[in-house]
A and B are shown apart, each in its own frame.
Chain A
Amino acid sequence: SQTIHQWPATLVQPVGSPLSLECTVEGTSNPNLYWYRQAAGRGLQLLFYSVGIGQISSEVPQNLSASRPQDRQFILSSKKLLLSDSGFYLCAWSKGPRQTQYFGPGTRLLVL
């Protein structure tokens, strides 16, 4: 069966520090991968999606970037965190663009 992992589970970082969140999927190949953010009082917002290694699409301009160095690995990064980057970050995968998306457990990020 397929599983999706995210780490760390919780992270507290000072403003201006770098960020790296990792997501890996097991039990499938060539998945579509997605990064979402859930900020307080707001709905889930798609940040990036990827249909293959090295292929990244950004949905909204922001202080974050994403990379997909391996087929089942998706990384969310920032060079300098802002207070507004605080939120709950969720990674998801699907077999194809119009298939069910399966979400990871999430990373809660607090920027102070």
Chain B
Amino acid sequence: KQEVTQIPAALSVPEGENLVLNCSFTDSAIYNLQWFRQDPGKGLTSLLLIQSSQREQTSGRLNASLDKSSGRSTLYIAASQPGDSATYLCAGGGSQGNLIFGKGTKLSVKP
């Protein structure tokens, strides 16, 4: 059974700092790895999707990597801004699109 873990559970950084969020999964037989952000009381916003055959994806200040063999993914955020404050969720995708989510990392970027 797939389990997804995100460390740390919470992170507070000053504005402008580069940071890394970690995600680990127990079953390497995932079809993709997706990163989302969730603002309080809101739905999820898709950030990046990495297919199992890919190693990384980039979008603006965000870069996500995937290492299936070690069961790890990281989300790198460059030059953090207060608007980046949110909960970041990673999810491993199964063959039918069934996503298994971690519990998230709550990020706070202080001005």
Residues of A within 8 A of B (CB): 32, 34, 36, 42-46, 49, 51, 57, 59, 90, 92, 94, 96-106, 108
Known: A100-B34, A103-B43, A106-B43. A34 touches B97 (CB 8 A): yes
B69-111 vs A, Cβ < 8 Å mask (1 yes, 0 no): 0000000000000000000010101011111111110000000
Number of B positions contacting A (CB below 8 A): 26
| Chain B contact residues, majority secondary structure | strand
CB distance from A32 to the nearest CB of B (A): 5
* B99 x A46 contact (CB < 8 A): yes
- Kindly state the separation between the CA atoms of A102 and B45 in the bound complex, as whole angstroms: 7
7 tightest A-B CB contacts, nearest first? A97-B97, A44-B101, A103-B44, A103-B43, A43-B103, A43-B101, A100-B49
- Report the tally of A-B residue pairs with Cβ distances under 8 A: 63
Residues of B within 8 A of A (CB): 4, 31-32, 34, 36, 41-46, 49, 51, 89, 91, 93, 95-104
- Kindly state the separation between the CA atoms of A51 and B94 in the bound complex, as whole angstroms: 14
- Kindly state the separation between the CA atoms of A44 and B103 in the bound complex, as whole angstroms: 7
CB distance from B43 to the nearest CB of A (A): 4
* B93 x A98 contact (CB < 8 A): yes
Please give, as numbers and ranges, the residues of chain B lying within 8 Å of A42 by CB-CB distance.
Answer: 103
Please give, as numbers and ranges, the residues of chain A lying within 8 Å of B51 by CB-CB distance.
Answer: 98
CB distance from B103 to the nearest CB of A (A): 4
Q: Find A106's partner among B42, B96, B100, B102 (CB 8 Å cutoff).
A: B42
Known: A42-B103, A44-B89, A101-B34. A96 touches B97 (CB 8 A): yes
Interface CB pairs A-B, < 8 A, 30 = A34-B97, A34-B99, A36-B99, A42-B103, A43-B101, A43-B102, A43-B103, A44-B99, A44-B101, A45-B101, A46-B99, A46-B100, A49-B98, A90-B43, A90-B44, A94-B97, A97-B31, A97-B97, A98-B97, A100-B34, A100-B49, A101-B46, A101-B97, A101-B99, A103-B43, A103-B45, A103-B46, A104-B43, A105-B43, A108-B41
